[in-house]
Structure 1
Amino acid sequence: MDSTTHKFYPVHGIDSRNQLDKYCSNKEGMVFAYDSLTFPMANLHYQLSRGRVVGKFAIDISVGSFIHHLYSASNSFEQIVILKLKEKCIMELRRWVHDRTGAYDWSHTSSAAAELAGTRDQLQEQEIRLRSSVKHVLKCDFEQKNITSPVLLPLADCIVSAWLLEIISKNEDEYIRNLEKILKLLKPGGYLLLIGVLDATYGVVGEERIYCFKCNEEFVKNVFGKLGLVIDYCAVQRRSNVSDLTDYNSVIFVAARKGE
């Protein structure tokens, strides 16, 4: 990692509102609408509507302050706990969860979620259901053996992780260790739903270039197998637009079951 030109997310953090504007907004010229919004939401809906990923309790551990990938999870799980590395992301999310003044406007994604669910006339219900499903937004720390310490969470039926592992891991060994820590929060037989980018080395947020660990599809699948995850489904979407904001090649979605 070139520390002179790239910031490392666990150390330096990001401007969470700028990240939302650049990668997940409804603003004109938002070049990553398909990759960041449509692709993950469609794949999560597909997996969670099939009835194979079941239970009552899910954990989300993702980068930034995204919520759009959790609409389908709120249809499937009564309780969701969101884990974040940075306080600014926690504050941003709590503002939305509690519907406070200045909360980020996610209405463009709630309408997309309603369309996926076939309930276009129930847009507000999508947001209400997700807000009521999110029971806690907590801080986590991958330097700890238990990343939620001192809080001890029950094991989850499902964990959703989006765009996180590649920006908190400097190399292959760290990627594996970080994934192992995530899997400690998952029940045997539970599902990990992973969204990530392939062959990326950086992403721009604000004025900063954030380091990304460069990995490919083969590496991700090999690590899953090594850690006892059985892949049920994998989809890879080639990058849809060219932009200097980031250099990833593809977006990957993987649904995998933890061994009993």
Structure 2
Amino acid sequence: MPEQYKYPPKSLLFGKVDRQSEVFHKMHESGNQRGEVRLVQHCRTIDSSTHKFYHIHGMNSRHHLDLYFSDKEDMVFGEESFIFPLVNLHYKFSSGHIRGNLLIDISFGSYVHHLYSASNFFKEMVVLKSNEHCIMEVSRWQHDRTGAYDWKHASSFIVGLEGKRDQHEDIEMRLKSCIKQVLKCNFEQENIISPMVLPLADCVFSALLLDVISKNEDEYMRNLEKIIKLLKPQRQLILFGLLDTTYITVGGHRLHFLKYDESFVKNAFNKLGLVIDYCAVQRRRNVSDLIDHGAIIFVVAHKRE
């Protein structure tokens, strides 16, 4: 099997992180034989044509974090939100092939846990958000302001992966000092941070943003192309997305997700000059009407010269 389709060693997931990941693994103990976890929370039935757009209508960023990223035992999205992306990120960063001066993060929501591992390998980070509330949420956490979201469960998980138990405060400080700017981006513009200009990045990370701001596949391609323009040749784009998804529920509202499959992502990368180095896909592990995704995809690719 080609290296790019190998999943990280199971020891990486279940060896070093046995204590901290316990709350996440407990989520699956009550599931069926396929490892599914059932969570059904009813929200009003909404036609897909009335789904809200994250970058246009906004969302309750704290409710999004509490529902999909908290450390509560009834939070069934631990596999999708934490284990799968964080283990894959640690696995790829630890290989030593992804590093440099500048990483640009362009992601949906106000989560930061995916940047902990990266802070070991990049001197500076710039975080781009298309939602003002998410900018405020990230800034509140970064500057230790009252009411900031507590990411201790995520930083503890990461230091477990790194074999540095009880050093979550160090990793928190490392990431906060690494983030130099949190800026507004607008994909209606050719330069999404106009009138500013950033130096080309050694790595661009994007999680779910293309999924929620793109109305169709053509728009996804145009938005992806704008992201690629922020990247140096031969450097890496890391993308995390949800396959076969039409909505996510936040604050009682259903937000639009563009439905696409694995082949669409691979074809889009190829057409826009990206060479896939690594791809991992994991099917859905829970049953919930909060979100209707079929699988998770994690891709690392480099930009052609």
Percent identity over the alignment? Answer: 62
AA paired with 1:5?
T
Alignment partner of 2:184 out of 139, 148, 151 = 139
Alignment partner of 1:203 out of 248, 251, 257 = 248
Contact 2:54–2:131 (8 Å) recurs in 1: no
Question: C-alpha root-mean-square deviation of aligned residues, in Å?
Answer: 1.1
AA paired with 1:7?
K
Structure 1: any 5+ residue segments left out of the alignment?
Answer: none
Q: What is the match of residue 213 of structure 2?
A: 168
Deviation at 1:190, TM superposition (A): 1.0
2:303 and 2:76 map into 1 onto residues whose CA distance is 35
- Give the match's secondary structure for 1:136: strand
Q: What is the match of residue 194 of structure 2?
A: 149
**Pairing 1:113–2:158 present:** yes
Deviation at 1:11, TM superposition (A): 1.1
Please give the residue correspondences for 1:5-16 in structure 2 after superposition, counting only pairs within 5 Å: 5-16=50-61
1:251 and 1:45 map into 2 onto residues whose CA distance is 17
Structure 2: any 5+ residue segments left out of the alignment?
Answer: 1-46
Deviation at 1:170, TM superposition (A): 0.8
Alignment partner of 2:73 out of 6, 11, 28 = 28
Deviation at 1:232, TM superposition (A): 0.4
Aligned length: 260
- Give the match's secondary structure for 1:78: strand
Q: What is the match of residue 12 of structure 2?
A: none
Deviation at 1:31, TM superposition (A): 1.1
1:118 and 1:238 map into 2 onto residues whose CA distance is 28
AA paired with 1:164?
L
Question: For residues 168-205 of structure 1, what are the alpha-carbon distances to aligned partners after superposition, in whole Å with 9 as ceiling and x for unaligned?
Answer: 10111000000000011000111001001000000000
2:209 and 2:82 map into 1 onto residues whose CA distance is 16
Bigger Rg over Cα: 2
- Give the match's secondary structure for 2:286: coil
Q: What is the match of residue 173 of structure 2?
A: 128
Deviation at 1:156, TM superposition (A): 0.2
1:110 and 1:193 map into 2 onto residues whose CA distance is 20
Please give the residue correspondences for 1:42-53 in structure 2 after superposition, counting only pairs within 5 Å: 42-53=87-98
Please give the residue correspondences for 1:1-260 in structure 2 after superposition, counting only pairs within 5 Å: 4-260=49-305
- Give the match's secondary structure for 1:56: strand
Question: For residues 61-83 of structure 1, what are the alpha-carbon distances to aligned partners after superposition, in whole Å with 9 as ceiling and x for unaligned?
Answer: 00010100000111110100000
Deviation at 1:9, TM superposition (A): 1.5
- Give the match's secondary structure for 1:26: coil
1:150 and 1:25 map into 2 onto residues whose CA distance is 36
Deviation at 1:3, TM superposition (A): 6.1
Question: For residues 236-259 of structure 1, what are the alpha-carbon distances to aligned partners after superposition, in whole Å with 9 as ceiling and x for unaligned?
Answer: 011111101000000110000001
Question: For residues 150-182 of structure 1, what are the alpha-carbon distances to aligned partners after superposition, in whole Å with 9 as ceiling and x for unaligned?
Answer: 111000000010111111101110000000000
Contact 2:71–2:153 (8 Å) recurs in 1: yes
1:199 and 1:254 map into 2 onto residues whose CA distance is 16
